[in-house]
Amino acid sequence: MVHTLMLTNKEAQKLIEEGEVQIDGIIITKNCELNEISEIRIKGKIERAKKEFVYLLFNKPAGFESTLNKKIEKNISPFFDSYSGLAIAGRLDKQSKGLLLLSNDGKWIENLCNPKFEKEKEYIVSLDKPISDEFIASFVNGVEIDGFTTKKCFCEKIDSNTIRIILTEGKNRQIRKMCKVLGFNVISFLRIRISEFHLGNLKEGNAEITKI
């Protein structure tokens, strides 16, 4: 059913029957379902412009909250003044830095965020003391935090104090809590990948459009 502006069902039906309604440039002759991006014209006048989806990679600096809410101090909205309607996939805590994904395509964001899809997230994490084989084994097999045991994951040592981690779940501050339980503190925390999207050489504080 076409519902637009302040039209009643009867008024919308009459316009459709008179051939006065176009959806994405096509005159419609019967009620139809609209999607969120379609352009609507009535009597040749654009009543709703076609929505263009945008997909952004952002390298969040440490010290910023992963929110676009302007009421929250140190939010990231100033980095996106030229965009509207964005949502965030893959939030990071304030102290962490690295890849965030943003888009005005709600279905895409939901697909990335919903835990049932188990999208991989990859991190480089530096700890406060040398990493043992026992730490790696425990981390990989799951650690009890907040009353649950984390899923098995990938973890490898890069150097004496640095690890690379790949998770398919994303509980609040999960990696920091796992390390704390195992007797380590996180010194630096960088996310370099979400699913097939990589941070690459994107500079801290910068955003760039990507294709999906």
The pTM of this model reads 0.80
Range of the domain at 171: 120-194
Distance in angstroms (rounded) separating the CA atoms of residues 99 and 162: 18
Q: What is the pLDDT of residue 174?
A: 96
Q: Is residue 41 domain-shared with residue 62, that is, in the same domain?
A: no
pLDDT digits (tens, 9 = 90+) for 12-64: 787 777 777 777 667 877 776 766 667 777 777 777 766 788 999 999 999 99
Tens of pLDDT, residue by residue over 58-76, are: 999 999 999 999 999 999 9
| 61 and 110 belong to one structural domain | yes
* Segment 147-153 mean pLDDT: 95
70 with 32, same domain: the answer is no
Other C-beta atoms lying within 10 Å of the C-beta of residue 123:
21
CA atoms within 13 A on the CB side of 6: 0
Write down the pLDDT at residue 3. Answer: 46
Residues 168 and 183 occupy one common structural domain: yes
Domain membership flag for residue 67 = yes
CATH number at residue 190: 3.30.70.1560
Domain co-membership, 83 together with 175: no
1 in a domain, yes or no?
no
Does residue 4 lie in a domain region? no
For 186-189, which contacts have Cβ atoms below 8 Å and span 24 or more sequence positions? 186/125, 186/126, 186/127, 186/128, 187/126, 187/127, 187/128, 187/161, 188/125, 188/126, 189/92, 189/95, 189/96, 189/97, 189/98, 189/123, 189/125, 189/126
Confidence (pLDDT) at 13: 80
Number of domains in the chain: 3
* CATH number of the domain enclosing 43: 3.10.290.10
Whether residues 61 and 104 share a domain: the answer is yes
What is the Cα–Cα distance from 149 to 97, expressed in whole angstroms?
Answer: 25
Mean pLDDT of 93-118: 94
Judge whether 178 lies within some domain.
Answer: yes
109: tokens are 């964001």
Same domain, 26 and 75: no
Distance, CA of 207 to CA of 205 (rounded, Å): 7
* Co-location of 57 and 161 in the same domain: no
| Enzyme catalytic residues | 93
